[in-house]
Amino acid sequence: MPENCTVPSITADQYASRSAMLSSLVVSWSPMLQSVPKISSVPQDGAAISVLAVGGKSGKVSLWRMPVPECYSVDQSRVPASVVLIGIFQAHDSWITAISWALLDSDSSSPQVLLATASSDGSVRIWLAYNEILLKSSEPTHTSFSLLKEVATVDFVPVSVLSVIVPAKSPHKMHLAVGKGSGSFELWICDISSKKIDKIGPYDAHNQT
């Protein structure tokens, strides 16, 4: 490298990480997350955040935290951007093709959030994290999410879409819909406390999805 070059050098790991993020395939915003039970529909003093999950060809998911603004304005200069990379983790061994979020125990003293990820190899995994960790995390190398359940293993039929919900009347059960590139979709119901999961389907909905 020429001596007068002003471009900062980076390590091999930094280069690999940036290259992976440039190969992003899918993104998904989390619901609004707060460190305390929600007592008002209006977030107070920047106490709420949203997390952007970005999945790429490397099978990794990067997590970016952004505070919910106290007010919204068409004048962007009055709303300073404060986006922080808070984590990168290996979710799958192949391309990430779908991501979905759901709140869990949002009214408890330790609220959690679910993250569902799917891959081009057909695998589907459910991850779990505490809101408090996502609110405070500042180390990209720290893994905020732990694996809750591998719903579907590798079958080499790409997953094209995911949708996960936690019904209000059944706060410890997760409902998951998985759409495949083959045109079929699967429904799963998971008891989060026991990690027991039941498969409903599959159903042939279309020739392709």
Region of 171 (left: φ > 0; alpha: ψ -120 to 50; beta: rest) is: alpha
- Give pLDDT, residue 179: 93
- Measured between alpha carbons, how far is residue 201 from residues 100, 174, 177, 188 in Å? 20, 16, 10, 8
- Give pLDDT, residue 141: 67
Q: Is the pLDDT of residue 183 over 70?
A: yes
Q: Which domains does the chain have, with CATH numbers?
A: 12-39+47-204 (2.130.10.10)
pTM for this model (two decimals): 0.80
Q: What is the pLDDT of residues 39-97, one digit of tens each?
A: 444 444 457 889 999 999 989 999 999 988 766 666 655 555 688 889 989 999 999 99
Tell which wins on pLDDT, 51 or 205: 51
Q: Which H/E stretch holds residue 66?
A: strand 60-67
- Give pLDDT, residue 75: 64
Contact of 27 with 52, CB cutoff 8 Å: yes
- Tokens representing 142 are 């720290």
CA 134 to chain centre: 11
Q: What is the pLDDT of residues 42-52, one digit of tens each?
A: 444 457 889 99
- Could you give the count of Cα atoms lying within 13 Å of 74 in the half-sphere of its Cβ? 0
Angstrom distance (rounded) from CA 74 to CA 147:
40
Query: How high does pLDDT run on average in the chain?
Result: 82
- Tokens representing 51 are 């997390």
Q: What is the pLDDT of residues 121-162, one digit of tens each?
A: 999 999 999 988 898 887 776 778 999 999 988 888 999 999
